[in-house]
């Protein structure tokens, strides 16, 4: 199981680095840029914005 965990970690690091580079390179090209953004994080951040507490 340790090898599986390590391989997942290395794969995730490589994917994160690839996405970061893609966001930087394609920030002016919306068609390419959207391929480097995680749908999960986009949905999570959208949900968090809706849950912001009202100012008191």
DSSP string computed for 14-44 = HHHHHHHHHHHHTTT-HHHHGGGS-HHHHHH
Q: Look-up: residue for tokens 């390419």? A: 32
6-26 residue pLDDT tens: 999 999 999 889 888 888 888
pLDDT given for residue 6 in this prediction: 93
Task: Please check whether residue 27 is in contact with residue 17, taking contact to mean a CB–CB distance below 8 angstroms.
Answer: no
Residue-range domain boundaries for the chain: 2-42
Residue among 36, 42, 39, 34 nearest 19 (CA): 36
Backbone angles phi, psi at 37, to 5 degrees: -110, 135
**pTM given for the model:** 0.54
């Amino acid at each position: 199981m340790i090898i599986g965990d390590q391989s997942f970690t290395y794969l995730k690091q490589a994917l994160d680095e690839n996405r970061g580079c893609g966001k930087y390179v394609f920030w002016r090209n919306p068609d390419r840029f959207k391929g480097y953004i995680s749908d999960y994080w986009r949905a999570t951040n959208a949900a968090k914005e809706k849950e912001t507490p009202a100012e008191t």
